[in-house]
Structure 1
């Protein structure tokens, strides 16, 4: 709901949240917590208020456009796997338990899977992000990164079988199937955008974004060479991209949410590629 100027119009927030099934009391409590936590300031009261994101919150709002671009490059075969596994090991003392937990969470967020205590593997290059995270947590001296083209996990040698052993692919695929169902339904609505109110369009956008986030958060973006065929994520993302293209063509409000505007260049690339494939 955050606009280009890092503000939220409370009236629009209440209206959209109501459409999503939230009560005014729930919204008031959420807003109050955000203000108490220092994430937002509030000017005015109730539906006449304007919420303004703090500098810290605003700095976290920029989406990871390169992450989104990379997933679509994988889908269209523009990022083939070179057969290299990227590994990281760490041994952080108990006195830095919080940093140890944070680095572990960060490793998983970057697509890593545990092989054994303190040893994680990823199929994509991640060294730059790992070292940046470790430096931020002041544990860089406790980190070791390395690569190999020969990995065996127990008795498993096949890269595809290793991927199936280390990552919960069934659960990840189920999330993408849910995303596909939501995206297909929202796409049908967006193709009738002229019949929808501004609130309905914003609500549709938020529902799509929420389901996309839920599906992609646990996805390590394994190379297609390591995934079952066909892979549910590929089709789901293709339909999501169609939704994005529809949204890009719609002027929702005078100051629309910036969520999908940030992906404009990626959407253009995906759309042009899809059109080329159709012509071919």
Structure 2
């Protein structure tokens, strides 16, 4: 969904955009014009965008809802946990298998861990996003949601303690941490050379700066989607999440400052300027 998410992001920041403007941005990122036209046609068919004039596109409420589901979660590493857990129970019949699979996938993307086959758990209050997912799939009759400050038996076990429901197993923290390590290596060994060259170039192209921003934003969003961002007591001591995200955020903010405020691309990052 990389290009699709980026395209919805761009359209969410403008009242409308010309197809050639979108193609110009994505060509800088080595995508072909035809691939972008194909996505635009796909999104029109899904009612994510509309085109009142030939070659001019506008995102619809359905498109905004889709982007909200695809887009990054909040960075919960910056928030205080109140000790409350949110549990989602589902009993969706086999006749609605596709909706059931889509809902389970959506919960996992939002950060929930699978406690049991039809029970999902998460420590952060994102129930509005869960309800939006329920509404979009029209499965209200098959879902129950509760919140609680305690488990009476077999709760989620903090790091270093034994039990059947360890955070490491529910959320596969080892694999997520390995992903962070790989991104850390990419930043240090590959990307920062390119980044530093861009910083030093006094004749830098605003489009090149903006596409670098899109690349890093996508990396960050993918990390946030994969990472449940559990409270500190459930994370291993070797956890790299906060360090890597801080590094990416710092690079992103630097890129934003390099996009002139009178540039065409400034409106895409206006709400992110510090």
Q: Give TM-score scaled by structure 1 length.
A: 0.71
Residue in 1 aligned with 2:239?
231
Distance 1:2 1:255, change over 3 A: farther
**Does residue 1:73 correspond to 2:74, yes or no?**
no
Match of 1:201 among 209, 217, 232: 209
Equivalent-residue separation in structure 2 for 1:109 and 1:138 (angstroms): 18
Aligned to 2:174: 170
What runs of 5+ residues in structure 1 fail to find an aligned partner? 269-280
Residue 255 of structure 2: aligned partner: 247
In structure 2, the residue corresponding to 1:2 is in which secondary structure? helix
Distance 1:4 1:142 in 2: 33
Counterpart mapping for 1:59-208 below 5 A = 60-61=66-67, 67-68=73-74, 70-74=75-79, 79-80=80-81, 82=83, 84-127=84-127, 129-131=129-131, 133-134=133-134, 137-140=138-141, 142-147=143-148, 148-152=150-154, 158-160=157-159, 162-180=166-184, 181-182=186-187, 185=192, 187-189=195-197, 191-192=199-200, 194-208=202-216
1:31 to 20, 34, 40: 40
User: Deviation at 1:194?
Assistant: 3.4
On the 8 A contact 2:207/2:265 being kept in 1, the answer is no
Q: Partners of 1:255 and 1:63 in 2: how far apart? A: 27
The answer to whether residue 30 in structure 2 is matched with residue 7 in structure 1 is no
Counterparts of 1:43 and 1:219, CA distance in 2: 40
Q: In the aligned structure 2, how far is the partner of 1:132 from the partner of 1:37?
A: 17
TM-superposed deviation, 1:227: 1.0
Corresponding pairs, count = 252
Structure 1 pair 197–142 and aligned structure 2 pair: CA distance change class (3 A):
closer
Contact map agreement 2:72 2:224 (CA 8 A) in 1: no
Secondary structure of the structure 1 residue equivalent to 2:226: coil
What is the Cα deviation at residue 167 of structure 1? 1.1
Q: Which moved more, 1:237-246 or 1:90-99?
A: 90-99
| 1:51 maps onto 2:67 in alignment | no
Cα distance in structure 1, aligned partners of 2:178 and 2:112: 20
- Give, in whole Å, the separation in 1 of the partners of 2:236 and 2:261: 38
Per-residue CA deviation, residues 183-226 of structure 1 (Å, 9 max, x unaligned), is 96265355336342122112111211221222221211111211
Q: Is the 8 A contact 1:2 1:258 kept in 2?
A: no
